[in-house]
Chains A and B, each alone.
Chain A
Amino acid sequence: MNDMCQPPGLAPETFGAQHYKSDYKPIWCPGCGDYTVLAAITKALATVQKPPHEVAVVSGIGCSSRIPAYTSCYGFHGVHGRALAAGTGLKVARPDLTVLVASGDGDGYSIGGNHFLHACRRNVDLTYIVMDNHVYGMTKGQPSPTTEPDWDSKLSPGGTGVRSFHPLVIALASGANFVARAFSGDQQGTAEIIAQGIRHPGFSFIEILSPCVTFRPEQRDWRNLVHPASVQPTDDPARAAKRIMTDDGFNIGVLYAGHRAPYAGGPSPASADMAALEAEFAV
């Protein structure tokens, strides 16, 4: 996998999805949608052909956030809700790396909500993948920001009575440059969307409906509800917002692809040495 080992004149080695997988066995429940998201991520990386050691997968806390260790890329498994911040620092300091940030609906939209807004508007060139199952799975079944208001749980008997968060519209309004919805049951479609997101310059937001069959067994029915978006992606945010606001929540595909220039605040070419800075203090 080291291109330095490649004899000159030969085509570079190609990577298959298996080159991006680690040997570790996931801790997820049987039937969890995240298995397919993991497979789609490795497939997407094979599509873009970036060597695994030049890819970093960053996450926070939760079932979804176990993803980095299951890849053979560099991984960073941080603290709850802060994955976008860690991913942003990494990408700004190391623009040469391909950075994926993996999150869940609790991690990304609740505790990480503020970072989500500012990552969208900052538009650093990274890909944000949120595995949304409308529930806190790792802490065993509490309502998340995308949970329906009447969903009954031990922590909120009878439901929260609070309306659901709408991540796609919020991402769009906050300035995300690429907004898509995918369904983990459609591995190939999800892989294609992730590959598009990686290739799209700027902040790419991919919301993946990823069922939690342990705490939300009724989500098995999502398979029958999802349908491909019947329209081409738009670069007009007003049109995209209208579509997203009025769809049924199961519309799958790239819904917005903008042209905003990515964040350009990275390292600058060095022009001064320490002595030059020191001279400015001298009296």
Chain B
Amino acid sequence: MDGSTSIELKQAAHVVQRDVSIAIAGSGGSGVMTAGTWLLDAAARAGLYGLMVRTSGPQIRGGEAAALLRLSGAQVESLDDAFDVLVALDWQNVHRFADEIPLRATSVLVCDADAGEVPAVFLASGARVVALPLKKMAKAAGSWINMLALGISGALAGVPQAQLEEAVRSGWKRDGDGLAANLRALNEGCLAVAHLAGSPLTGSAGPRRWLLSGNEAAGYGALRGGVRFVAAYPITPATEMLEWMAPALARTGGCLLQAEDELASINMIIGASFGGVPSLTATAGPGLSLMTEGIGLAVAAEVPIVVVDVMRGGPSTGIPAKSEQSDLSFAVAGLHGDAPRLVVSPTSISDCAATTHWAVQLAEALQCPALVLSDQFLGQSQAIVRAPELPEGAPQRLVAPAHAPGYKRYANTENGVSPMAIPGTPGVTYTADGLEHTEGAIPSSQAADHRKQLDKRLRKLTGHDYGSRWADCEGDAPLAVITFGSATGPVREAARRAAAQGVEVRVIALRLLMPLQAAALDRALAGVERVIVVEQNHGAQLLHYLRGAYDLPGQPASFHHPGPLPLRPAEICNALVAWAREEETLA
């Protein structure tokens, strides 16, 4: 804590005044997630925007964990390239996060003076180390080390102490003495780094804001879209969506059933939806694999269902608690037979609500399965966001009236959608079938019936008007980036940075991945000479899917790497600038 630190950080703080990245790391129940959650809550109270990504090792409880935050006066949808502040409560296994917590030379690393040597991997950044007797200070205050961390990180981030205190008061659910001790520790933390703290982040009295995770947003969107039955099997990182939905469904007149496995989950929701109740399940890659047989059944029997896949590192059990976008190929191609289905992907944490709502509407309107590709980053991160603009309207399932004369469940209608009789309706009983069938729902192995039903099931999807929600398009430059899902946030930020360096790119973030909207893509790509596809997986799955289904202009390029390391705006920006300059050189 020499004098030069103070000056250096104040300069750094000035530069990052509207945008600060903070990591709080520790192990063994040291409470880093609580500190991070309350810091985000305090930021929300201070009128700020922000994002908190959770990362942890494979352990069930204890072990290493880190809360990765980015706070700003404006909405943020991505982590930054590096962290300005790292508060390390101890060093037990925290070095495992070295790749996930890159520091800068201007960063400040606050640690416990009695926790041993700072791992070399963190020192290599040149960050300023501030060693404080954290454990002793917490003990003196009668509180926990993470409350000191909250004060330290809050003060360094520029979140006013009054809001930090409010967050503690709101979050502390136990006795009053403990609360007083926590507030003492918080104050100690703020004081300990007061001389280092930069100017405060300033919030804005802008539009309505929400604080929620992508999993909660998806659950809310599903409920708002009309889902009233959920069956699911626990799996990381989808479980929190289900945990949010269970009580919310009970309050809104629905129910959630924990199934014995994913095979049961998918068939239970098909049964419930056959009964007329909009239904959903949520899972991750391994569960989706088990559900494919059932998804095919929903295609053939024309039963609307929504399957949310919160993607994680794969294949197989892979990396359960960390993010990747590697189930795309499976989602668009992973069923046997010719099985048209809907695949959508939210472009941000707040968009998880609107896109899941939309998925319910589409599944109901088109009587088919809709897969929602979320991922661990979107699902488990919490964010302060502008309240999303959500679709309007109740689900529109075309149902058959009672005693409809000559009723045929799978009638070959012009748009491919046939009225569905809901059990309990007299005079229109039928048997839904996963076997190929006639228009009248009788099993058939005849070529003409098969062809007719295949045509109908494809036609109802390809002929539908999906409106403007199929993608988010920005800019009109001759260079275009195509991306999807959680890659969208870092891509947007990279595009802004590239523009500051004189490289303009058009950004097309696909929300409707299947059926691919070729005509809309034609319009979105009008005037584009070259395309680069950005995604977070090893095999460039989106690029290959697009090239298989659509003629991209020029020689398409790709920027992609697998998880669990997040896509960083700087690496994408560098790739965009290099790609654009290569074009100039060639020209």
Contacts and interface: CB of A to CB of B under 8 A. Distances in A.
Interface stretch (B104-112, B207-215, B513-521, B534-542): B207-215
Interface in B422-453: 423-435, 441-443
B476 interface: no
Nearest to B402: A2
Interface stretch (B124-132, B272-280, B307-315): B272-280
Nearest to A72: B429
B271 A274 contact: no
Interface residues of A, number: 57
Interface stretch (B18-26, B80-88, B251-259, B363-371): B251-259
B455 interface: no
A277 interface: yes
Interface stretch (B7-15, B224-232, B556-564): B224-232
Contacts of A54: 423-424
Given A85-B259, A270-B251, A78 B272 contact: no
A52 B253 contact: no
Contacts of B461: none
Contacts of B432: 75-77
A78 B267 contact: yes
Contacts, number: 195
**Chain A: interface secondary structure?**
mixed
Contacts of A198: none
Contact of A69 (B211, B250, B384, B431): B431
Contacts of B384: 283
Contacts of B387: 281-282
Contacts of B229: 89, 92-93, 267
Interface residues of B, number: 68
Interface string A254-280: 000000000001111111111011100
Nearest to B254: A267
Nearest to B47: A283
Contacts of B294: 79, 82
A283 B277 contact: no
Given A79-B434, A265-B255, A90 B424 contact: no
A265 B257 contact: yes
Given A77-B433, A282-B387, A283-B209, A89 B251 contact: no
Nearest to B431: A75
B264 interface: yes
Interface string A58-97: 1000000010110011111111011001111111111011
Given A68-B431, A97-B275, A267-B253, A78 B270 contact: yes
Interface of B: 44-45, 208-212, 216, 220, 223-224, 228-229, 231, 248-255, 257, 259-261, 263-277, 279, 293-294, 296-297, 301, 384, 387, 402-403, 421, 423-435, 441-443
Interface of A: 1-4, 24, 51-54, 56-58, 66, 68-69, 72-79, 81-82, 85-94, 96-97, 114-115, 117-118, 265-274, 276-278, 281-283
